[in-house]
Structure 1
Amino acid sequence: MNKQLKIRHIVILVAPDSTLLTTVGPLEVFAKTVDQFNLIQDKVDFNYKTHVVSMENTKLINTSCGLPILTEGCYDEIDYPIDTLMITGLARHLEEFSMNKMLEWLKQQSKTIRRICSVCSGAFILAEAGLLDGKKATAHWSKNEELAQSYPLIDVQIARIFIKDGNVYTAAGITSGMDLALALIEEDLGQSFALHIARWLVLYLKRPGNQSQFSAYLDYKSIGNPSMRKVCEWILEHLREDLTVEALAEHVAMSPRNFARVFVRELRITPAKFINKLRIENACQHLIDTQFSLDEIASYCGLKTAENLRRQFISFMEVTPAQYRKSFQSSLVDA
């Protein structure tokens, strides 16, 4: 006889003109989990039930790409205990919404909800409700500066994929909502099952929250200044060398002072920090793709020693190289 499972209600709260993927991405992850629950139902005492709920008094929500979503109804019609609430991304400015009533509802619900989450610019709703005050949080990279300026009590993390601070989770966007959903499932059901769901969804490489939203490599590929693009390409091919500002400036026939000024203007980062990002990203790839020792990887990437690699890695990624390697290599093997 099958045991009776408790229900954990997962509510995805959708704003008008929301970005579609911030809704259907996490929804698909949880839906696939429910579909595969028979694999672990003897080990747990609960199952999920998903709900897509409107932020306004209408069931039909138009998304920013033009494809509408038919929700169950308005948030104020919810008559069940919410386990996890996920607020999707906004395509419009917050001022365009009339949401005082909804914000009050959110503040009340926050006292009993186990986990409160946002995806992309949905973080602005949590911020407006005061639920991010004093917490680390993130949003889409194009919105983080606005988030920090509009809500100075929030410790905005510029480039993170997602962040957990207490029971509040914020994800960058747009597909990072799927990364966050997988992390929530891993919390509840373990890494092995979360990776099983990732395989089904062809999310073969599960990104942790401390992974960057964007890479230094992609940053330089979009540079319009040909001299800066040229020197960035040269840096990538010479990471093992001693890359001083003087040496880089000489490579493009500029004075060191003018080179540093133009570099910061074009990339919005100093040469030293850019080089360090490239070296860390290069080390990440070696940790995943090879069995090289930390000393070998440090040498290949220009970080010289394993101790320096470890120190820089913790500063940038907030995990040790060994933890990063274990997480990613196990994901690849299991996938």
Structure 2
Amino acid sequence: MPERLFLVVAYDGAELLDIACVTSALDIANRIGAGPPYRAVLATLGGRAVACDSGLRLESGAELERINEPLDTLLVTGGTGHERAAASARLVGHVRRLAPLARRVASVCTGSTILAEAGLLTDRRATTHWMYAATLADRYPDVLVDAEPVWIRDGHVATSGGVTSALDLTLALIEEDNGPAVARGVALGTVAYLQRPGGQAQISMFLARRGTEDFVVRRATDHIAAHLTDDLTTGALAHRFGVSQRHLSRLFHTYVQLTPAQYVRRARTEAAAHLLTATALPLAAIARRCGFGSTESLRQAFQDRFGAPPSRYRSQRSGTTAHGSGPPAR
């Protein structure tokens, strides 16, 4: 294969970042030795320029109607125009026509709506931007929508969450094609986190908590994030912030939809997930750093949160971590 043809399908109202995260990552991969090299082509109906969400216009590189050659990857971008695009029988028809010509099919963000309309997500697990997940699930009940992951691979079809998750998905595809060294080089070139695992939540609780309106909950969640190894029982937290356990539980239920204990467990699990993918620390050390009483309690928390033990979670990202010390988790 002299090159890998990576066809990006766009339309009016496409999100520029959805496109740029993909094409820029592929360009960097080429510069550092991807082989065969990628040829990224932006395709539109009639080969017309498209107006992105931001107002900038992108010139098309190909007419969607004229493409008949084998593809390495067919990827549909997302954007606020995805509803109109999914309602276009011509665009959806060409996506459906091109899918069998591609080694793999993918979407970024709300591009999953177009894949679903084309019947390419039927009976598959898929994700999309968290804001649109409920709509996708309601409209296409035969699609197994999971709003949390950054990206999902089901067979030869991959879908990703909102906007910059396009970079995470593209890094995963680059690693699949070229190995971890090239993927890591692309991550370093884009000054990105080496690679968020597909199962990681689109909205980390450490980000989401900052939107909490209640002062007590904000202080409590800040304290939890900074003191994972402390006594974080509901009683200890209630005493620290001068409220009753019942009132603290009511506040957490109202503002974060979790009990204090559930929030603490999830915070510790997310912190452990980061250490597993960003360091080579052994599991026992990670458990201690994140406040788990034992490696077994960490394993159980991982199984509950991610549906996989820590060892499998880490092995899926094997080769992309380069920091920390000690043997990998067992």
TM range (shorter): 0.7 to 0.9
Q: Residue by residue, what CA displacement relative to the aligned partner does 1:62-120 show, whole Å, maximum 9, x if unpaired? A: 11111110012431121322221111112136157641122222223223321110001
Amino acid at match of 1:105: H
- Indicate which of 181, 188, 193 corresponds to 2:177: 188
1:7 corresponding residue in structure 2? 3
1:288 and 1:50 map into 2 onto residues whose CA distance is 29
Instruction: Structure 2: state its 5+ residue gaps.
Output: 325-330
- Indicate which of 18, 23, 28 corresponds to 1:27: 23
Q: Residue by residue, what CA displacement relative to the aligned partner does 1:222-244 show, whole Å, maximum 9, x if unpaired? A: 21111211222233344335544
Paired residues in the alignment total 323
1:98 and 1:18 map into 2 onto residues whose CA distance is 15
1:115 corresponding residue in structure 2? 104
1:48 corresponding residue in structure 2? 38
1:93 and 1:118 map into 2 onto residues whose CA distance is 11
Amino acid at match of 1:266: Y
Query: 2:280 touches 2:322 (CA, 8 Å); kept in 1?
Result: no
Instruction: Structure 1: state its 5+ residue gaps.
Output: none
- For the residue of structure 2 that corresponds to 1:49, the secondary structure is strand
**Percentage identity across aligned positions?**
31
Coordinate RMSD, CA, aligned: 2.8
1:197 corresponding residue in structure 2? 186
Q: Residue by residue, what CA displacement relative to the aligned partner does 1:32-61 show, whole Å, maximum 9, x if unpaired? A: 333344xx65xxxx443221011x335211
1:165 and 1:61 map into 2 onto residues whose CA distance is 30
CA pair 299-92 structure 1, distance change in 2 beyond 3 A: same
Amino acid at match of 1:52: L
Q: How does 1:23-102 map to 2 (within 5 A)?
A: 23-37=19-33, 46-54=36-44, 56-92=45-81, 94-95=83-84, 98-102=87-91
2:294 and 2:265 map into 1 onto residues whose CA distance is 14
- For the residue of structure 1 that corresponds to 2:56, the secondary structure is coil
Q: Residue by residue, what CA displacement relative to the aligned partner does 1:294-313 show, whole Å, maximum 9, x if unpaired? A: 33432332321112212222
Deviation of 1:186 after TM superposition, in Å, equals 1.5
Q: Residue by residue, what CA displacement relative to the aligned partner does 1:287-335 show, whole Å, maximum 9, x if unpaired? A: 467665433432332321112212222432455434555647853359x
1:331 corresponding residue in structure 2? 321
1:266 corresponding residue in structure 2? 255
1:227 and 1:177 map into 2 onto residues whose CA distance is 36
1:16 and 1:235 map into 2 onto residues whose CA distance is 44
- Give me the TM-score of the superposition, normalised by structure 2: 0.86
- Give me the TM-score of the superposition, normalised by structure 1: 0.85
Deviation of 1:194 after TM superposition, in Å, equals 2.1
1:173 corresponding residue in structure 2? 162
Amino acid at match of 2:208: D
Higher deviation after alignment, 87-96 or 285-294: 285-294
1:222 corresponding residue in structure 2? 211
- For the residue of structure 1 that corresponds to 2:102, the secondary structure is coil
Query: 1:12 touches 1:51 (CA, 8 Å); kept in 2?
Result: yes
2:241 and 2:175 map into 1 onto residues whose CA distance is 49
- For the residue of structure 1 that corresponds to 2:40, the secondary structure is strand
Query: 1:161 touches 1:210 (CA, 8 Å); kept in 2?
Result: yes
2:261 and 2:137 map into 1 onto residues whose CA distance is 25
- For the residue of structure 2 that corresponds to 1:111, the secondary structure is helix
2:270 corresponding residue in structure 1? 281
CA pair 73-109 structure 1, distance change in 2 beyond 3 A: closer
1:313 matched to 2:309? The reply is no
2:288 corresponding residue in structure 1? 299
